[in-house]
A and B are shown apart, each in its own frame.
Chain A
Amino acid sequence: MSQNKSKPAPPGAESEPTVAAGGGSAWPFVLLGVVLFGCFLHVENTGGAFRADVYQAGMKTPPPQTDEPEDVKLFKRGASVYAGGCVGCHQPTGLGSPALNFPPLAGSDWVTREKPDRLIRILLNAVEGPIKVKDVVYDNPAMLAFRDVFNDYDIAAVATFIRGNKEWGNGAGFVTPAQVKAIRDGTAAMGSQKWRVETLEPIP
């Protein structure tokens, strides 16, 4: 108010309300500051860091994707297992290295046959001796047994990855950790003994 009218208003409905002189208080702003502090805490704690993709109060990042099918998660996990334990010999292309006596996985019937039982056994205990892959005979004792290296989930994951890798031209079905566990338990007596083609061939 640029002009304060403090003269007493005459009584009656004809008169209009007037404004007292002076006035102005600081307490609303002090109170505002105090409440604002609490509000900042509230927004910090429940505001999802102002991200457009956080919908859950109390979270700062979106929750991990849980709606992927199990085989997709296995495949993704298998890719990293493969990159850690297999890629050195079998190569990123899955073609192995015929010159160094490493057999291919891409297009190999040992990998992509309907049942994964042979593949799981090879992954657990490895295979040695001459083995014919895609009409070429390889004989390399260097394959490692992964029984004590990877758990059931990682074995299933890497088996899923190499069986279903479309970039390699493989299109076989995924492998579950339960299948791995069944075979691991069933072949526990083998210890560190490796498979040979003759012992594997009776397996379907």
Chain B
Amino acid sequence: MTTAQPSSQTACAAAPSVAEVEASCRLPVLFLAFSGAAWLCAGAVLALLASIQLYQPTFMEGCPWVTYGRLRPAAVNALAYGFALQTSFALALWLIARLGRVELAAPLGLTIAAKFWNIAVTVGVFGILAGDATGFDLLEFPLYAALPIFASYACLAAWALVTLHQRTERELYVSLWFVVAALLWFPWILSTAQGLLLGWQVPGVVQAIVAGWFGNNLLQIVLTSFALAVLFYFVPKTVNRPLANPGLARAGFWLLLLLGGWGGLAQLAAVPAWIPAVSGAANVLVIVPVLALLVSLWQTADGKIAEAWKDNATFRFLLVAAILLLGVTLRTAVFGGHWTQFTFFATARTDIVLLGVFGLAALGALHHIVPRLTTGDDELPSSGLADVAFWAALLGVLFVGIGFSLAGFAQAGVNADAGKAFLKDGVVGIAGQLKLVTVGYGALALAALAFLANFGLAVRRCCAACCGGAR
């Protein structure tokens, strides 16, 4: 992970200035950040419409394009590929450039690849709405969208790794471990899953195992790693202290990679019993690296948390993301077994990791990155809009997570009790919890809009200030 070669004087002499580094980031990172936030808004609206149909089945009936079975996968995939992965590319590029003290390789090429990624996601979402979904959780994009997704990812990641190779700061900071791991992990799981499911077309039971393995790795390794990269970058920076106990971070990093990929299959049915048993054990084991990483962050920020919460918009997002990471890990470890099988409980995990752990961390980071790349300030122009974005995103994630979790518990109670009626108690009876989910998605869409408005203000101010000059 680390090179023995220290940062030499010559390398420092050749290193570009922060202004030069950020200038190279401007086009691709702003494009990815803006598109990601726009997809967050679109995905949240799609998820909101889908969630209404859970308790109002006649809502938008009659048009096959907007039935639940198409809207929900379209929403989840828009959020996963349009928002989460796209935003994580923005974060990855910015972190590599800043921490490696290097200008991005081929910023224009990265922007074009990002454009293709967006086209592919759009085609995929419309493909799902048109009825071409593959039926595998988090892999619903049809093949004609999945292949361009992989191709544009290959370009983005290749240029990111070329940039990393050219870095002038040779030592890899903790955040870059996570970025590199996630950048290399994602093509492995995506190509394996797409190859086995859509190319090779493995038989029935294996499909569920492959799709479950992919979904868990996407959430537990790739997106959690990007969230942790952001946390490890901004927490020491905000409290202006060096990262305490890097050995703990290193142990957590390797253990997360070692253990994280095994989970996610604990609720599969009709598979040999050892698969859910081992997977359930991994869900518990992964508490250890998560604790180690969070303790390292906590030791760094200890004593300055209240101050940073008050002063720094980014830090608020990050603190909530860190708490949610611990919460979702414990929640899956304790309740993620057979008892909550076939309920909304697993849905809640996808949404909490996607929108809470990763989503909040990413939005927090963007509240720092976007002003750096536009106005050159450390904060977005409107602190009011930043507050709206934070509180709306926080409430949105809590409402969605709690609503789906409570609905899952209620359904588990129905499944466990033969005296309860499936339709009355398990479908109609959870309407209240699901209305909370609808409100949550509405709040998330509002948060995305508030961020986009702030983004627009920053771009306008930048243009007004620097027409004709650099920054």
Residues of chain A whose beta carbon lies under 8 Å from any beta carbon of chain B: 1-6, 8-9, 11, 13-20, 22-25, 28-29, 31-32, 35-36, 38-40, 42-43, 46-59
Contact = CB atoms under 8 A, between A and B. Distances in A.
A13 B368 CA distance: 9
Interface residues of B, number: 55
B277 A47 contact: yes
Interface of A is mostly: loop
A37 to B, nearest CB: 11
B209 interface: no
Given A19-B243, A31-B288, A57 B276 contact: yes
Q: Which of A11, A14, A40 has the most CB of B within 10 A?
A: A14
Contacts of A35: 284-285, 287-288
B248 A18 contact: no
Contacts of A5: 242
Contacts of B288: 28, 31-32, 35
A43 to B, nearest CB: 5
Interface of B: 2-4, 6-7, 18, 98-99, 101, 169, 171, 173-175, 232-233, 235-237, 240-252, 255, 270-274, 276-278, 280-282, 284-285, 287-289, 291-292, 338, 368, 372, 378
A24 B248 CA distance: 5
Task: Please list the 3 inter-chain residue pairs (A to B) with the smallest Cβ-Cβ separation, ordered nearest first.
Answer: A24-B247, A48-B273, A39-B281
B284 A55 contact: no
A3 B271 contact: no
A20 B249 CA distance: 12
B248 A1 contact: no
Contact of B242 (A13, A18, A32): A18
B243 A17 contact: yes
Contacts of A14: 18
Nearest to B282: A39
A13 B378 contact: yes
Contacts of B287: 35
Contacts of B250: 1, 24
Contacts of B278: 43, 47
Interface of B is mostly: helix
A20 B246 contact: yes
18 contacts: A2-B2, A3-B171, A4-B246, A9-B242, A16-B98, A16-B101, A17-B235, A19-B243, A20-B245, A24-B245, A28-B251, A28-B292, A32-B255, A46-B277, A48-B277, A49-B274, A54-B274, A57-B338
A19 B284 CA distance: 29
Q: Which of A5, A14, A16, A22 has the most CB of B within 10 A?
A: A16
Given A19-B246, A55-B271, 8 more contacts: A1-B246, A8-B242, A13-B372, A20-B243, A23-B244, A23-B247, A24-B251, A35-B287
B283 to A, nearest CB: 10
A38 B284 contact: yes
A52 B275 CA distance: 10
B272 A16 contact: no
Given A42-B277, A48-B273, A25 B285 contact: no
Q: Which of B101, B169, B246, B378 has the most CB of A within 10 A?
A: B246
Contacts of A52: 272
A48 B244 contact: no
Given A9-B240, A48-B272, A53-B272, A25 B281 contact: no
Contact of A2 (B4, B237, B272): B4
Nearest to B278: A43
B173 A54 contact: no
A47 B235 CA distance: 41
A25 B277 contact: no
Contacts of A48: 272-274, 277
B171 A57 contact: no
B437 to A, nearest CB: 30
A23 B270 CA distance: 46
B373 to A, nearest CB: 11
A54 B240 CA distance: 55
Nearest to B251: A28
A16 B240 contact: no
Contacts of B372: 13
A20 B242 contact: yes
B28 to A, nearest CB: 20
A123 to B, nearest CB: 44
A69 B273 CA distance: 27
A40 B98 CA distance: 43
Contacts of A59: 273
Contacts of B175: 17
Contacts of A22: 245, 247
A67 B281 CA distance: 33
Contacts of A50: 272, 274
A64 B292 CA distance: 46
Contacts of B368: 13
Nearest to A44: B277
Nearest to B7: A3
Nearest to A6: B242
Nearest to A10: B240
Given A1-B171, A17-B173, A19-B173, A42 B248 contact: no
A51 B272 contact: yes
Nearest to A41: B281
A17 B242 contact: yes
A2 B250 CA distance: 12
Nearest to A43: B277
Given A6-B242, A13-B378, A17-B233, A28 B285 contact: no
Contacts of A25: 245, 247-248, 251, 292
